[in-house]
Amino acid sequence: MDFSTSLGLLPPTLLDGAILGLLYATIALGYTMVYGVLRLINFAHGEIFMVGGIAAIELLTFVLIPLGLPPLLMLGIGLMFAACVSAAVALAAERIAYRPLRKRRAPRLVPLITAIGLSLLLQDAVRFIESLFGNFIRPFPAIPSLEGSFELGGGLILSYKSLAILVIGIAMLAFLMLLVNRTKLGQAIRAVAQDPRASTLMGIDVDRVVAATFAIGGALGGMAGLLYALQYGKLDPFAGFIPGLKAFTAAVLGGIGSIPGAMVGGLVLGVMEVMSGTFLPIITDGVIGTDYKDVFVFGLLILILIFRPGGLLGKSVVEKV
């Protein structure tokens, strides 16, 4: 493959990387917000992402598509449903599994193990439920008018799906920024992140803020689950693990606890991943295949963290959410 054709690959690769990165960013927010207020890595967040996505796929497949609603309305209802289901699961996880540990002042490692246990439990609970109704691999149903695509010029093809994901993803991130920076709830979340005890003294109900953080992170995760399924075609009960891990990585890369950091980290990770997947085999003439993209990306991550241990945007500032 000569140089100019390789160069022609750059625009679609960047586009695909941006979409993947946007999805990572949305999931990463769930990790980073919870970490911000509780210093807890909620490893079950990948499964919360999966639960919302699968629930929305079921709703689309069995209710919305048979009803024949307009595609954008379907997508909107699906997103709301995914957000509600994931928020409910995240809230339940916080209430049942994490809050008792917090109240009993369990050592920091304990909630981490709980989170891993919760993650496995959710995986197999979903597998069990889905297996009752046939195969548990849930393909994203075809929405005909979303299947098309248009040319952006220069041979760069953008599908309606990808366009929808870009628009919705950016809207979600903007909405979150507004929520955190401009509302009372956002102020409370930032206050708890800075100092939970002082917030209590200021009359903030910390439990409520923590629950709200889980719900918001869960809702974003659930919507990301639906968008992920829309872009890549399917979800199964085990599909949350890898995107969850990558999103967690993105959160650390951006500086865990920092909301802009999660967004930047997600985008950087997504773009690097797709870029290395495309160009590693070309540069090395097939010696290093696409399958080494994660090795390459995580290698870069190690390097970046050596020079910026706090992540790209994470400084040791007090503001943590």
Under the criterion CB under 8 A, does residue 145 sit at the interface with another protein? Answer: no
In the set 26, 42, 114, 123, which binds another protein (CB under 8 A)?
Answer: 123
Residue in 232, 258, 262, 237 with CA at minimum distance from that of residue 247: 262
Q: Which is nearer to another protein, 216 or 268 (CB)?
A: 268
Stretch of 46-54, 142-150, 217-225, 303-311 contacting another protein, by CB under 8 A: 142-150
DSSP 277-288: HHHHHHHTTTSS
Asked whether the beta carbons of 74 and 64 are under 8 A apart, the reply is yes
Which residues lie below 8 Å from residue 95, measured CB to CB, with a gap of 6+?
Answer: 211
Q: Which residues of 168-199 are buried (b: 16+ CB within 10 A; e: fewer)?
A: bbeebbeebeeebeeeeebebbbbbbbebeeb
Stretch of 188-196, 216-224, 227-235, 312-320 contacting another protein, by CB under 8 A: 227-235
Burial class (CB in 10 A: 0-12, 13-18, 19+), 141: middle
In the set 145, 149, 181, 183, which binds another protein (CB under 8 A)?
Answer: 149
Encoded one letter per residue, x for contact with another protein by CB under 8 A and - for no contact, window 236-255 reads x-xx-xx-------------
Under the criterion CB under 8 A, does residue 195 sit at the interface with another protein? Answer: no
Encoded one letter per residue, x for contact with another protein by CB under 8 A and - for no contact, window 269-298 reads -----x--xx--xx---x--xxx-xx----
The number of beta carbons lying within 10 Å of the beta carbon of residue 316 is 8
- Angle of the 259-283 helix axis to the 241-254 helix axis, nearest 10: 110
Q: How far is the CB of 173 from another protein (least distance, A)?
A: 20
State phi, psi for 214 to the nearest 5 degrees. Answer: -60, -45
Cα separation, 256 vs 170, whole angstroms: 20
Under the criterion CB under 8 A, does residue 100 sit at the interface with another protein? Answer: no
Q: Which stretch of DSSP H or E encloses residue 234?
A: strand 234-235
Q: Which is nearer to another protein, 39 or 238 (CB)?
A: 238
Stretch of 122-130, 183-191, 203-211, 250-258 contacting another protein, by CB under 8 A: 122-130
Here the tokens at position 181 are 């920076």
Q: How far is the CB of 204 from another protein (least distance, A)?
A: 37
Under the criterion CB under 8 A, does residue 150 sit at the interface with another protein? Answer: no
Under the criterion CB under 8 A, does residue 12 sit at the interface with another protein? Answer: yes
User: Taking the mean position of all CA atoms in its chain, how far away is CA 182?
Assistant: 23
Residues 52-81, interacting with another protein (CB under 8 A): none
Asked whether the beta carbons of 238 and 130 are under 8 A apart, the reply is no
Total residues binding another protein (CB under 8 A): 46
In the set 100, 139, 299, 309, which binds another protein (CB under 8 A)?
Answer: 139
Residues contributing to the site for another protein (CB under 8 A)? 1, 5, 8-9, 12-13, 16, 20, 117, 120-121, 123-125, 127-128, 131, 134-135, 137, 139, 142, 147, 149, 157, 159, 161, 232-234, 236, 238-239, 241-242, 274, 277-278, 281-282, 286, 289-291, 293-294
